Amino acid sequence: MSDELMNTKEVAGYLGIHEKQVYALIKTGRMPATRVTGKWIFPKKLIDGWLEVNAKTGLEEARQKGGRISGALLASGSNDPVLDILQTCLRKAHPEFYIFSASTGSREGLIALEKGFTDIAWSHLLDPETGEYNIPYLERLVPGVKAVVVNLFFRELGFVIARGNPCHIREFSDLIREGVRFVNRQSGSGTRLLLDCHLEKAGIPATQIAGYQDEVFTHIEIGLAVLSGVADTGIATAAVSSLLGLDFIPITKERFDMVLDQSVFFQKGVQALMETLGGEEFRNRVGHLGNYDFRSSGKILYSKT
């Protein structure tokens, strides 16, 4: 490219943001650009002028959504109490690195990764046909990402219930009994997908479950709803039941992974995260929670070629 004109890759580097965010700015009309023979061209003088005018608005927004913040990793997707402990241990061992994480659900985390809005997607999406987690969804949800899938842990998921199981909940058919109040996870979460798969297999209409439409975004919210008496049961991790002193009926042991682009995987912050994941302090802190399996933790399960 000439010194006066830049392509999308060059303008992304010039601004210090993700190339996908450049396309987002073009699409919304917030960045000056010209399309020539099917390619976007950016006159450098116009970009410089745009920067001066939008230094405190447009560029900041671009950096927040898709750019690189020094020392920070952006994460979104599923949630688990272990992730909070992992982030704390990372900060203690490597104070120069930190993670901003949003609980959006596994599916939305992968979509955010595809759009360039996050560096890491936390995911536990089960493919009912193969019994495999996460990998079958990559081609559909993150086709533009050269994805790496790294296992973090296996965990137990099940019905969280009050002490003594006063509603005698044992299986999915119990959710449609009169008087049983359920609290659900949001659509797009791995837990919601698991529930819907089991309901379909059992031939149970979701409309017959009282509380199916009552959605929360985290496992701890499920536990708190049961603890407070707002609901009789919901599906969450065994760790939540342990932390809140609730009873637990296991449903499955599932694989919890992080998905990221290969270029991000080799960044120092991610390597520090991997080191922390296998570190003694982290393992000691999560050991008392129980019901976690770290046998494949840190293992690369898939890498797109």
CATH code of residue 144 = 3.40.190.290
Using the 3D structure, point to which of 47, 66, 85 is the last residue of a domain.
66
Least confident of 203-212, 224-233, 239-248, 288-297: 288-297
CA distance 21 to 103: 21
Average pLDDT over residues 277-299: 90
Question: Based on the domain organization, do 178 and 289 belong to the same domain?
Answer: yes
Least confident of 22-36, 189-203, 208-222: 22-36
pLDDT for the residue 56: 36
Q: Which of 143, 147, 207 is nearest to 175 (CA)?
A: 207
Question: Based on the domain organization, do 87 and 128 belong to the same domain?
Answer: yes
Question: Based on the domain organization, do 158 and 209 belong to the same domain?
Answer: yes
The pLDDT tens digits of the residues spanning 207-225 come to 999 999 999 989 999 999 9
Question: Based on the domain organization, do 261 and 143 belong to the same domain?
Answer: yes
Tally of structural domains, the chain: 2
Pairing of strands 300-303, 292-293: unpaired
pLDDT band at 62 (very low <50, low <70, confident <90, very high): very low
Average pLDDT over residues 122-136: 95
Q: For 124, phi and psi rounded to 5 degrees?
A: -145, 50
The pLDDT tens digits of the residues spanning 76-110 come to 999 898 999 999 999 999 999 988 888 899 999 99
pLDDT for the residue 21: 76
pLDDT for the residue 70: 66
Where in the sequence is the domain holding 19, given as residue range(s)? Answer: 5-66
Higher pLDDT, 33 or 228: 228
Average pLDDT over residues 257-276: 94
Average pLDDT over residues 130-140: 96
- For residue 189, give every residue at least 6 positions away whose Cβ sits within 8 Å of its Cβ, in sequence order, or none: 78, 105, 106, 107, 217
Q: HSE (CB half, 13 Å, CA atoms) of 102?
A: 13
pTM score of the predicted model = 0.75
pLDDT above 90: residue 247: yes
pLDDT above 60: residue 184: yes
pLDDT mean across residues, the chain: 88
Higher pLDDT, 237 or 67: 237
Least confident of 44-48, 56-60, 289-293, 301-305: 56-60
Q: Within a 10 A sphere around the Cβ of 75, how many other Cβ atoms? A: 24
Higher pLDDT, 107 or 33: 107
How big is the CA angle at 150 (ends 146 and 155), to the nearest 5 degrees?
140
Question: Based on the domain organization, do 141 and 228 belong to the same domain?
Answer: yes
Using the 3D structure, point to which of 22, 39, 66 is the last residue of a domain.
66
Asked if residue 242 lies in contact with residue 291, where contact means CB atoms within 8 angstroms, the answer is yes
Q: Which of 108, 44, 54 is nearest to 77 (CA)?
A: 108
pLDDT for the residue 23: 80
pLDDT above 60: residue 57: no
pLDDT for the residue 36: 72
CA distance 30 to 218: 34
Question: Based on the domain organization, do 39 and 52 belong to the same domain?
Answer: yes
Give the 3-state secondary structure of residue 224: helix
pLDDT band at 66 (very low <50, low <70, confident <90, very high): very low
pLDDT band at 132 (very low <50, low <70, confident <90, very high): very high
Question: Based on the domain organization, do 91 and 61 belong to the same domain?
Answer: no
- What is the CATH number for 27? 1.10.1660
pLDDT for the residue 53: 58
Pairing of strands 72-77, 98-103: parallel
CA distance 67 to 117: 8
- For residue 223, give every residue at least 6 positions away whose Cβ sits within 8 Å of its Cβ, in sequence order, or none: 160, 234, 236, 240, 241, 243, 244, 246
